Amino acid sequence: MEESPRPGTPDEWSFPERTAVTPHLAPSAPRDAADATIGVMTDTALPEPLAEIRDEFLELDPAERLQLLLEYADDLPAVPASIPDTAFERVAECQSPVFIALEVHDGLVRMHAKAPAEAPTTRGFASILVRALTGLPVADALGVPDDFPQGLGLSQVVSPLRIAGMSGMLRRAKRQLAVRL
């Protein structure tokens, strides 16, 4: 069953401010009903596509990891023309203008992202999430640990602000899915 896109444009959407979650500490209580279905445990088993991406990064030395991230940036899938601009949410945690949209078809996730070529690390993070989440059952996508971005081993070559941007993309993706349940 296709979900209808959120009305209005991304600039008109209103989302509550989110506080940072320490990667290894879960919040004491859900902030809202959508948060109750979103996992934050670092010891959660990763779905196979995410585990493969993580392992691909961790097999490399830090400089090669950055190169791999840039290769992902070059491979960000194009957004189908059938996805209207109004379906996209701006990822405010990113310094660069990044927009994401998630769909659910037959219980499987489809993620789309728009990120400028002038922001290759951010575009690389978006590409990783698009490739990792697309095709997963909704429950598996919601169970992705919030600290997945920190597990890629990029903290030596990418600023903490960039890692926080990817974490923001993941949180927003999971929130879009949670509201569809």
Is position 22 within any domain? no
Q: Which two tokens stand for residue 51?
A: 């585990």
Which residue, chain included where needed, has tokens 């600023």? 159
Is position 69 within any domain? yes
Which residue, chain included where needed, has tokens 């445990």? 41
Rg (CA), the chain: 15
Q: What is the CATH number of the domain that holds 163?
A: 3.90.1010.10
- Report pLDDT for 44: 62
Counting the structural domains of the chain, the total is 1
Is position 157 within any domain? yes
- Report pLDDT for 162: 93
Measured CA to CA in angstroms, residue 54 lies from 38, 76, 153 at distances of 20, 17, 8
pLDDT in tens, the chain (181 residues): 444 444 444 344 333 343 333 333 233 333 344 433 333 334 468 999 999 999 999 999 999 999 999 999 999 999 999 999 999 999 999 999 999 999 999 999 999 999 999 999 999 999 999 999 999 999 999 999 999 999 999 999 999 999 999 999 999 999 999 998 8
Is 24 strand, coil or helix?
A: coil
Is position 94 within any domain? yes
- Report pLDDT for 125: 97
Is position 5 within any domain? no
Is position 11 within any domain? no
Is position 26 within any domain? no
DSSP 8-state secondary structure symbol assigned to residue 109 = E
Give residue 165's identity as a one-letter amino acid code.
G
Taking residue 108's Cβ as centre, other Cβ atoms within 10 Å add up to 15
Range of the domain at 69: 49-178
Is position 27 within any domain? no
